[in-house]
C-alpha cells in the first residue's frame, strides 16, 4: 500500500542496531513477502501455516483454516483499541487526558523494532542519550495520541497501559462485542521480557493461562521497579538477542487467535453504528486517509510481526456503502528479511478489491 508502517519502523530500527534480530546461519532464497506475488508463492508452499478469512462485501468469500489459532503479534492491539473506544463512548476515559510519558514508558521494552522511537518522533518528543526513551519523562501527551501511536506505529507499551487502566474484563468485553469470543490477552511487556530476560521466562511447557499469570506478575515488577527497567535496557543494548530459531520458538508461544476472530472484530468496527465503533474506526482508518483507491472511503488496518510471524486484520469501506473485511495469520517458515519487509495487508486489500486476484489466491490455497 502507498503508506507502510513497516517502512517507518525499519527507518527507526536502523538507529538502534543493538536490538536487530539475529540472522539465520544459512540464508535460502525466499519469496518476497512485500509483494502480493511473493505471498502467492509462499502460500502455495505453506498452506498449513496460514489462516485466512476474506469477504469482499459483494458475495466473494474465501476462507482457509479460518478457525485454527495461530500467533497474532501486534494484530491483537485492535482489541485494546476497541476497549479504549468503548470507554471513551461511555465517558470512562477522556481522549484529551494528559498522560505523563514516563508513565507510558514504564511498560516499554525496547524490542519493538523502533516503534516507540518512531512514535516519540512523530509527537516531537526529544529522546535521551540512549535514543530510546523520552528525554523528559514529565512531558505530557493526550491519551488519544498514545492510542494513535499504538495503531500507527504499533507501539507496544500503550496496550499494556490501557489494559492496566481499564482492567482485563473491559478488554474481554470489547472483544466479545466485536465477535471475538475468547481473546488471548496477555502483557505484551512481559512477552518481550520473556525473550530479553530468559531467566524470567516460564518453562516451555507452561500452558497459556500460566504464562499469562506469570506475565502479569513480571509486568508489575517491571512497571514499578526502575532498577529492573535499567537492567533490562543494559542487557538489550550490550548483548544480542537469542538466535533466530530461538526467537521463533519464543514467538510460537505468544498470544494466538484464529483469522476468523481477527476478521470479525474488524468487520464490527467497520460496520458498527455505535459511538464506540466510530471512535475506533476513525483511529484505524486515519493512517491511510489520503491514500485510498477510487470508490473507497476508508481502510482500517492493524498488522503485526514477530520472528516467523506476519499477521493483519483489515476492513474496506466503499462509497456505495459496502464493506469488505479480512484476517490473515501466517506462521512458520518466514525469515528475518521477510518479517522486516512483509506486507500482509496488501494480500487482504487486493483480495477484497480484485476478484481476479482473489481467484489466484484461491488457486494457491488449493496447491
The angle formed by the CA atoms of residues 292, 11 and 106, to the nearest 5 degrees, is: 100
Close Cβ partners of 134 (under 8 Å, ≥ 6 residues apart) = 101, 102, 105, 120, 125, 126, 127, 128
Cβ contact 50:43 at 8 Å? yes
CA distance 52 to 291: 25
When pLDDT is averaged across residues 143-169 and rounded to a whole number, the result is: 98
pLDDT confidence of 297, banded at 50, 70, 90?
very high
**pLDDT at residue number 362:** 96
Cell of 302: 492493524
The domain segmentation of the chain, as residue ranges, is: 32-72+256-366, 92-252
**pLDDT at residue number 28:** 52
Q: What is the mean pLDDT of the chain?
A: 92
Query: Model confidence over 230-287: pLDDT tens digits?
Result: 999 999 999 999 999 999 999 999 999 999 999 999 999 999 999 999 999 999 999 9
pLDDT confidence of 367, banded at 50, 70, 90?
confident
Of the candidates 3, 60, 152, the one whose C-alpha atom is nearest the C-alpha of residue 358 is 60
1: helix, strand or coil = coil
CA distance 147 to 152: 9
Decide if pLDDT at 306 tops 80. yes
Return phi, psi of residue 310, to 5°. -135, 135
**Quick one: which H or E segment has residue 331?**
strand 323-331
Query: Model confidence over 19-75: pLDDT tens digits?
Result: 334 434 444 578 999 999 999 999 999 999 999 999 999 999 999 999 999 999 999
CA distance 136 to 132: 12
Predicted TM-score (pTM) of this structure: 0.92
Amino acid at each position: 500500500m502507498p503508506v507502510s508502517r513497516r517502512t517507518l519502523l525499519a527507518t527507526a530500527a536502523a538507529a538502534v542496531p543493538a536490538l536487530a534480530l539475529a540472522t539465520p546461519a544459512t540464508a535460502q532464497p525466499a519469496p518476497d513477502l512485500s509483494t502480493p506475488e511473493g505471498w502467492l508463492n509462499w502460500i502455495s508452499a505453506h498452506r498449513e501455516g496460514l489462516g485466512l478469512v476474506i469477504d469482499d462485501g459483494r458475495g466473494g468469500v474465501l476462507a482457509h483454516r479460518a478457525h485454527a489459532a495461530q500467533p497474532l503479534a501486534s494484530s491483537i492491539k485492535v482489541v485494546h483499541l476497541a476497549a479504549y473506544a468503548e470507554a471513551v463512548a461511555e465517558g470512562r476515559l477522556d481522549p484529551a487526558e494528559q498522560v505523563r510519558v514516563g508513565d507510558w514508558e514504564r511498560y516499554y521494552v525496547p524490542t519493538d523494532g523502533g516503534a516507540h522511537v518512531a512514535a516519540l518522533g512523530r509527537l516531537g518528543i526529544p529522546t535521551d542519550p540512549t535514543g530510546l526513551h523520552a528525554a523528559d519523562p514529565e512531558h505530557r501527551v493526550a491519551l488519544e495520541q498514545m492510542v494513535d501511536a499504538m495503531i500507527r506505529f504499533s507501539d507496544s507499551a500503550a496496550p499494556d497501559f490501557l489494559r492496566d487502566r481499564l482492567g482485563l474484563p473491559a478488554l474481554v468485553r470489547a472483544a466479545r462485542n466485536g465477535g471475538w469470543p475468547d481473546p488471548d490477552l496477555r502483557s505484551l511487556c512481559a512477552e518481550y521480557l520473556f525473550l530479553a530476560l530468559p531467566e524470567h521466562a516460564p518453562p516451555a511447557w507452561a500452558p497459556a493461562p500460566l504464562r499469562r499469570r506469570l506475565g502479569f506478575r513480571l509486568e508489575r515488577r517491571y512497571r514499578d521497579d526502575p532498577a529492573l527497567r535499567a537492567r533490562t535496557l543494559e542487557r538489550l543494548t550490550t548483548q544480542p538477542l537469542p538466535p533466530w530459531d530461538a526467537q521463533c520458538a519464543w514467538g510460537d508461544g505468544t498470544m494466538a487467535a484464529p483469522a476468523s476472530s481477527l476478521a470479525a472484530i474488524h468487520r464490527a468496527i467497520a460496520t458498527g453504528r455505535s459511538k464506540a465503533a466510530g471512535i475506533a474506526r476513525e483511529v484505524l482508518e486515519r493512517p491511510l486517509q489520503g491514500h485510498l483507491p477510487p470508490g473507497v472511503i476508508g481502510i482500517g488496518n492493524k498488522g503485526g510481526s514477530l520472528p516467523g510471524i506476519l499477521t493483519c486484520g483489515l476492513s474496506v469501506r466503499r462509497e456505495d456503502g459496502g464493506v469488505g473485511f479480512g484476517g490473515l495469520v501466517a506462521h512458520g517458515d518466514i525469515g528475518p528479511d521477510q518479517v522486516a519487509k512483509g506486507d500482509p495487508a496488501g494480500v487482504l486489500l487486493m483480495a477484497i478489491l480484485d476478484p481476479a486476484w482473489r481467484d489466484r489466491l484461491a488457486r494457491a490455497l488449493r496447491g
